[in-house]
C-alpha cells in the first residue's frame, strides 16, 4: 500500500489533470509574472482536514508558493475564521483554487461528521470505526480524515483484513467452515471478523472460536443480549462491533449497550462539503 505522501501526490495529480487538462484558458487573462495573495475563510464550524492535499495542489503548479496556516488538521474551527494565507504565482493560485478547495472541503466534512459521532457517545467505551464505503480513489485520504475527527480505521481494503459476510458464509458452507478456513489462510497479524445477523448465529460464531464479530442490524435489545452472551461465553477477549442504521440520534444508545466498536458507512459516503471560500487580496 502507498504511503500518505505518495497518495497525496497521486490524488492531486489526477485531480489537477481532470480540471486543467491541456491548460487553464481563463488564467491566461492574467500576466504571466503577476503575483497574488489570498486567504481561506471558513463559513461554518468544522474540523479542519486536508492541509497537505490543499498545499500540494498549488505546489504542483508553483513550487515557490508560500503558506501561513492559522489552524492544523484536526483543529475545530469557527464560522468566519481565517484558516490560512497564500502568496505566490497568480495563475497557479487561480488554476489550482477549485481543486485545492475541493480536497479541503471534502476531507473537512469527513472529519467533522466523525467528530459529531465521537462527541455524541463521549464517556462510553465504544469507538467509531469507518468502512470501505469511500469515494473511489480517495480511500486513504478519507480514512485519514476519519482519524482527524477522532475515529479509527477499519481495514483499508480486501488485502489487509478478513471480514466474513453473509455471502461468504453461504459460499463457504456455514459459519464454522468459513471461520476454520479463514484461520488457515490468514497471514500473520491479519484480523478475522465475521458478520452475524442473529443471536443464534452469534452463538455459533463464538463456539467456532470467533475473536471479532460484526453485529449487523441488531436492535438495541439484541445488542445488549449479544454483549451479555459474548461476555458470558468468552469474557472480554471477543471484540463486538455494531453496524447498520446507526445515526447521530441513536449512536449513544448503541454505545451504551456495551459494544466495543461502532462502524458507520455514512462517515465517508454521505457527506456534505464544508463551506470554505478563498478571497484574493
The catalytic residue among 2, 43, 72, 98 is 98
What is the rounded CA–CA span in Å between residue 107 and residue 228? 38
Q: What percent of the chain has pLDDT over 70?
A: 100
The catalytic residue among 73, 201, 216, 241 is 216
Q: Tell me the C-alpha to C-alpha distance, in Å, between residue 101 and each of 16, 40, 57, 107, 160.
A: 12, 9, 9, 10, 31
236 flagged as catalytic: no
- CB count in 10 Å sphere of residue 212: 18
- Over residues 258-269, the pLDDT tens digits come to 999 999 999 999
Query: Residue 195 has which C-alpha cell?
Result: 458478520
- CB count in 10 Å sphere of residue 204: 18
181 flagged as catalytic: no
165 flagged as catalytic: yes
Q: What is the overall mean pLDDT for the chain?
A: 96
- Over residues 68-89, the pLDDT tens digits come to 999 999 999 999 999 999 999 9
**Secondary structure class of 38 (helix, strand, coil):** strand
Mean pLDDT of 152-167: 95
216 flagged as catalytic: yes
Nearby residues of 73 by Cβ (< 8 Å), 6 or more positions away: 48, 49, 50, 51, 52, 111, 148
Flag whether pLDDT at 135 surpasses 80: yes
Q: Tell me the C-alpha to C-alpha distance, in Å, between residue 246 and each of 129, 133, 255, 263.
A: 12, 15, 10, 8
Q: Which domains does the chain have, with CATH numbers?
A: 4-118+271-280 (3.90.1170.20), 123-269 (3.20.20.70)
Q: What is the pLDDT of residue 49?
A: 98
What is the rounded CA–CA span in Å between residue 200 and residue 213? 13
Q: What is the pTM of this model?
A: 0.95
The catalytic residue among 165, 231, 252, 269 is 165
The catalytic residue among 82, 116, 132, 133 is 133
Flag whether pLDDT at 235 surpasses 90: no
Q: What is the pLDDT of residue 281?
A: 82
The catalytic residue among 195, 204, 241, 260 is 195
Q: What is the pLDDT of residue 169?
A: 96
What is the rounded CA–CA span in Å between residue 214 and residue 226? 11
- Over residues 74-133, the pLDDT tens digits come to 999 999 999 999 999 999 999 999 999 999 999 999 999 999 999 999 999 999 999 999
Q: What is the pLDDT of residue 1?
A: 64
- Over residues 24-46, the pLDDT tens digits come to 999 999 999 999 999 999 999 99
Mean pLDDT of 132-154: 97
Q: pLDDT confidence of 240, banded at 50, 70, 90?
A: very high
Number of residues assigned to the chain? 281
- Where b means 16+ CB within 10 Å and e means fewer, 150-189 reads bbeebbeeeeebbbbeeebbeebeebbebbeebeeeeeee
Q: What pairing do the DSSP bridges indicate for beta strands 46-47 and 76-77?
A: antiparallel
Sign of the alpha-carbon dihedral angle for 148, 5, 64, 278: negative
What is the rounded CA–CA span in Å between residue 242 and residue 246? 9
Amino acid at each position: 500500500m502507498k504511503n500518505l505522501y505518495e497518495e497525496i501526490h497521486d490524488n492531486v495529480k489526477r485531480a489537477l489533470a481532470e480540471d486543467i487538462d491541456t491548460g487553464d484558458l481563463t488564467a491566461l487573462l492574467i500576466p504571466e509574472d503577476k503575483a497574488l495573495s489570498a486567504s481561506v475563510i471558513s463559513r461554518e464550524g468544522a474540523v479542519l482536514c486536508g492541509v497537505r492535499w490543499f498545499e500540494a495542489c498549488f505546489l504542483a503548479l508553483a513550487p515557490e508558493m508560500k503558506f501561513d496556516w492559522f489552524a492544523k488538521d484536526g483543529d475545530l474551527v469557527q464560522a468566519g475564521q481565517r484558516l490560512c494565507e497564500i502568496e505566490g504565482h497568480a495563475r497557479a493560485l487561480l488554476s489550482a483554487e477549485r481543486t485545492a478547495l475541493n480536497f479541503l472541503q471534502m476531507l473537512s466534512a469527513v472529519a467533522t461528521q466523525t467528530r459529531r459521532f465521537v462527541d455524541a457517545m463521549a464517556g462510553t467505551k465504544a469507538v467509531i470505526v469507518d468502512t470501505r464505503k469511500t469515494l473511489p480513489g480517495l480511500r486513504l485520504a478519507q480514512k485519514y480524515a476519519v482519524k482527524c475527527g477522532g475515529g479509527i480505521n477499519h481495514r483499508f481494503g480486501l488485502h489487509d483484513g478478513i471480514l466474513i459476510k453473509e455471502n461468504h458464509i453461504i459460499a463457504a458452507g456455514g459459519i464454522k467452515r468459513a471461520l476454520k478456513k479463514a484461520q488457515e489462510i490468514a497471514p500473520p497479524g491479519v484480523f478475522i471478523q465475521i458478520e452475524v445477523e442473529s443471536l443464534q448465529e452469534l452463538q455459533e460464531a463464538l463456539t467456532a472460536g470467533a475473536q471479532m464479530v460484526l453485529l449487523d442490524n441488531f436492535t438495541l435489545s439484541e445488542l445488549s443480549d449479544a454483549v451479555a452472551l459474548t461476555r458470558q461465553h468468552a469474557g472480554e477477549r471477543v471484540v463486538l462491533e455494531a453496524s447498520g442504521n446507526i445515526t447521530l440520534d441513536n449512536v449513544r444508545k448503541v454505545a451504551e449497550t456495551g459494544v466495543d466498536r461502532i462502524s458507520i458507512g455514512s462517515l465517508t459516503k454521505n457527506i456534505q462539503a464544508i463551506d470554505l471560500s478563498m478571497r484574493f487580496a
